[in-house]
Structure 1
Amino acid sequence: MPIFKYLERNAKEFGDEVALVELNPEVKDTRRVTWKEYDLTQPEPFMPYRREITWHVFNEKANRFAHLLLERGVKKGDKVGILLMNCLEWLPIYFGILKTGALAVPLNFRYASDEIDYCVNLADISVLVFGPEFIGRIEEIADKLIAHRLLLFVGNGTCPTFAEDYMQLVMNCSSRNLDIEISDDDFGAIYFSSGTTGFPKAILHKHRALMHSAAVEQKHHGQSKMDTFLCIPPLYHTGAKMHWFGSLISASKAVLLRGTKPEIILKAVSDEHCTIVWLLVPWAQDILDALDRGDVKMSDYKLDQWRLMHIGAQPVPKKLIEDWKKYFPNHDYDTNYGLSESIGPGCVHLGVENTHKIGAIGVAGYGWAVKIVDENRKEVKFGDVGELAVKGPGVMYEYYKNPEATKEVLDDEGWLYTGDMAQQDEDGFYYLVDRKKDVIITGGENIYPVQIEDFLHKMEKIKDVAVIGLADERLGEISAAIIEIKEGMTCTEEEINDFCMALPKYKRPRKIIFAKVPRNPTGKIEKPKLREMYRTVDPFASMKK
Structure 2
Amino acid sequence: MPITDLLERNSKLYGEETALVEINPEIQEQQRVTWKEYELIQPTSAVPYRREITWSVFDEKANRVANLLLSRGLKKGQKVAILLMNCLEWLPIYFGILKAGCIAVPLNFRYTSQEIDYCLKLSEADVLFFGPEFIGRVEAIVPKFSHKLLMFFVGESCPSFAEDYHRATANCSSVAPKVLIDDEDESAIYYSSGTTGFPKAILLKHAALLQAARMEAIHHATTHEDVFLCIPPLYHTGAKMHWFGSLFTGGKAVLLKGNSPQAIFHAVSQERCTIVWLLVPWCQDILAALDRGDLKLEDYQLSQWRLMHIGAQPVPPSLIKHWLSYFPHHKYDTNYGLSESTGPGCVHLGMDNIHKVGAIGVPGYGWKCKIVDENDQPVPQGEVGELCVKGPGVMVGYYHDPQATQAVLKDGWLHTGDMAKQDEDGFYFLVDRKKDVIISGGENLYPVQIEDFLSAYPKVHDVAVIGLPDKRLGEIAAAIIQLKEGMACTESEINQFCMDLPRYKRPRKIIFANVPRNPTGKIEKPKLREQYCGVRLVEAQAKG
Task: Give the shorter-chain TM-score range.
Answer: over 0.9
Counterpart secondary structure, 2:421: strand
Assess if the C-alpha contact under 8 Å between 1:422 and 1:430 holds in 2: yes
Deviation of 1:13 after TM superposition, in Å, equals 1.1
Correspondences of 1:379-528 after superposition (within 5 Å): 379-411=378-410, 413-528=411-526
Assess if the C-alpha contact under 8 Å between 1:33 and 1:51 holds in 2: no
Counterpart secondary structure, 2:135: helix
CA distance in structure 1 between the aligned counterparts of 2:147 and 2:9, rounded to whole angstroms: 39
Specify the alignment match of 2:302 in structure 1.
303
CA distance in structure 1 between the aligned counterparts of 2:229 and 2:26, rounded to whole angstroms: 17
Specify the alignment match of 1:360 in structure 2.
359
Correspondences of 1:140-219 after superposition (within 5 Å): 140-145=140-145, 147-156=147-156, 158-219=157-218
CA distance in structure 1 between the aligned counterparts of 2:214 and 2:201, rounded to whole angstroms: 24
Deviation of 1:74 after TM superposition, in Å, equals 1.0
Assess if the C-alpha contact under 8 Å between 1:367 and 1:393 holds in 2: yes
Specify the alignment match of 2:124 in structure 1.
124
CA distance in structure 1 between the aligned counterparts of 2:265 and 2:103, rounded to whole angstroms: 36
Listed one character per residue, the Cα deviations across residues 61-100 of structure 1 (whole Å, up to 9, x for unaligned) are 0000000000011110000000000000000000000001
Assess if the C-alpha contact under 8 Å between 2:510 and 2:539 holds in 1: no
Deviation of 1:468 after TM superposition, in Å, equals 0.4
Deviation of 1:366 after TM superposition, in Å, equals 0.3
Deviation of 1:48 after TM superposition, in Å, equals 1.4
Does residue 287 of the first structure (1) align with residue 286 of the second (2)?
yes
Aligned-partner residue type, residue 429 of structure 1 = F
Specify the alignment match of 2:313 in structure 1.
314
Aligned-partner residue type, residue 59 of structure 2 = N
Listed one character per residue, the Cα deviations across residues 478-512 of structure 1 (whole Å, up to 9, x for unaligned) are 00000000001111011000000110110000000
CA distance in structure 2 between the aligned counterparts of 1:430 and 1:494, rounded to whole angstroms: 34
Deviation of 1:541 after TM superposition, in Å, equals 9.0
Aligned-partner residue type, residue 142 of structure 1 = V
Q: Which runs of 5+ in 1 are unaligned?
A: 39-46
Counterpart secondary structure, 2:155: coil
Does residue 346 of the first structure (1) align with residue 348 of the second (2)?
no
CA distance in structure 2 between the aligned counterparts of 1:186 and 1:34, rounded to whole angstroms: 39
CA distance in structure 2 between the aligned counterparts of 1:33 and 1:456, rounded to whole angstroms: 44
Specify the alignment match of 2:324 in structure 1.
325
Listed one character per residue, the Cα deviations across residues 336-360 of structure 1 (whole Å, up to 9, x for unaligned) are 0000000000000000010000000
Assess if the C-alpha contact under 8 Å between 2:509 and 2:539 holds in 1: no
Deviation of 1:536 after TM superposition, in Å, equals 1.4
Deviation of 1:11 after TM superposition, in Å, equals 0.5
Aligned-partner residue type, residue 290 of structure 2 = L
Specify the alignment match of 2:73 in structure 1.
73
CA distance in structure 2 between the aligned counterparts of 1:234 and 1:407, rounded to whole angstroms: 29
Listed one character per residue, the Cα deviations across residues 156-204 of structure 1 (whole Å, up to 9, x for unaligned) are 2x10011000011101000001221111111000000000000000000
Deviation of 1:303 after TM superposition, in Å, equals 0.1
Counterpart secondary structure, 1:27: helix
Deviation of 1:144 after TM superposition, in Å, equals 2.1
Assess if the C-alpha contact under 8 Å between 1:19 and 1:55 holds in 2: yes
Deviation of 1:34 after TM superposition, in Å, equals 11
Percentage identity across aligned positions? 68
More deviation, 368-377/25-34: 25-34
Q: CA RMSD in A?
A: 1.6
Assess if the C-alpha contact under 8 Å between 2:460 and 2:483 holds in 1: yes
Counterpart secondary structure, 2:332: strand
Assess if the C-alpha contact under 8 Å between 2:230 and 2:243 holds in 1: yes
Specify the alignment match of 2:6 in structure 1.
6
Correspondences of 1:68-107 after superposition (within 5 Å): 68-107=68-107
Q: Which runs of 5+ in 2 are unaligned?
A: none
Assess if the C-alpha contact under 8 Å between 2:508 and 2:539 holds in 1: no
Counterpart secondary structure, 1:26: helix
Assess if the C-alpha contact under 8 Å between 1:33 and 1:48 holds in 2: no
Aligned-partner residue type, residue 149 of structure 2 = R
What is the number of equivalent residue pairs in this alignment? 531
Specify the alignment match of 2:234 in structure 1.
235
CA distance in structure 1 between the aligned counterparts of 2:445 and 2:147, rounded to whole angstroms: 51
Counterpart secondary structure, 2:10: helix
CA distance in structure 2 between the aligned counterparts of 1:91 and 1:145, rounded to whole angstroms: 27
Assess if the C-alpha contact under 8 Å between 1:223 and 1:247 holds in 2: yes
Counterpart secondary structure, 1:361: coil
CA distance in structure 2 between the aligned counterparts of 1:271 and 1:209, rounded to whole angstroms: 34
Listed one character per residue, the Cα deviations across residues 448-496 of structure 1 (whole Å, up to 9, x for unaligned) are 0000000001100000000000011111100000000000111101100
Assess if the C-alpha contact under 8 Å between 1:369 and 1:392 holds in 2: yes
Aligned-partner residue type, residue 289 of structure 1 = A
Aligned-partner residue type, residue 239 of structure 2 = A
Deviation of 1:304 after TM superposition, in Å, equals 0.2
Deviation of 1:147 after TM superposition, in Å, equals 3.9
Specify the alignment match of 1:26 in structure 2.
26
CA distance in structure 2 between the aligned counterparts of 1:394 and 1:340, rounded to whole angstroms: 9
Aligned-partner residue type, residue 97 of structure 1 = I
CA distance in structure 2 between the aligned counterparts of 1:281 and 1:9, rounded to whole angstroms: 35
More deviation, 143-152/471-480: 143-152
Aligned-partner residue type, residue 523 of structure 1 = G
Specify the alignment match of 2:57 in structure 1.
57
Aligned-partner residue type, residue 261 of structure 1 = S
Assess if the C-alpha contact under 8 Å between 2:43 and 2:271 holds in 1: no
Assess if the C-alpha contact under 8 Å between 1:185 and 1:207 holds in 2: yes
Listed one character per residue, the Cα deviations across residues 204-253 of structure 1 (whole Å, up to 9, x for unaligned) are 00111101111110110011111100000000000000000000011000
CA distance in structure 2 between the aligned counterparts of 1:325 and 1:137, rounded to whole angstroms: 43
CA distance in structure 2 between the aligned counterparts of 1:173 and 1:321, rounded to whole angstroms: 49
Specify the alignment match of 2:538 in structure 1.
540
Deviation of 1:146 after TM superposition, in Å, equals 7.8
CA distance in structure 2 between the aligned counterparts of 1:137 and 1:103, rounded to whole angstroms: 23
Counterpart secondary structure, 1:539: coil
Deviation of 1:33 after TM superposition, in Å, equals 11
Listed one character per residue, the Cα deviations across residues 312-342 of structure 1 (whole Å, up to 9, x for unaligned) are 0000000000010010000000000000000
Aligned-partner residue type, residue 284 of structure 2 = Q
CA distance in structure 2 between the aligned counterparts of 1:262 and 1:437, rounded to whole angstroms: 33
Aligned-partner residue type, residue 458 of structure 2 = E
CA distance in structure 2 between the aligned counterparts of 1:203 and 1:33, rounded to whole angstroms: 42
Assess if the C-alpha contact under 8 Å between 2:135 and 2:159 holds in 1: yes
More deviation, 24-33/395-404: 24-33
Counterpart secondary structure, 1:450: helix
CA distance in structure 2 between the aligned counterparts of 1:81 and 1:539, rounded to whole angstroms: 43
CA distance in structure 2 between the aligned counterparts of 1:247 and 1:63, rounded to whole angstroms: 20
Assess if the C-alpha contact under 8 Å between 1:132 and 1:155 holds in 2: yes
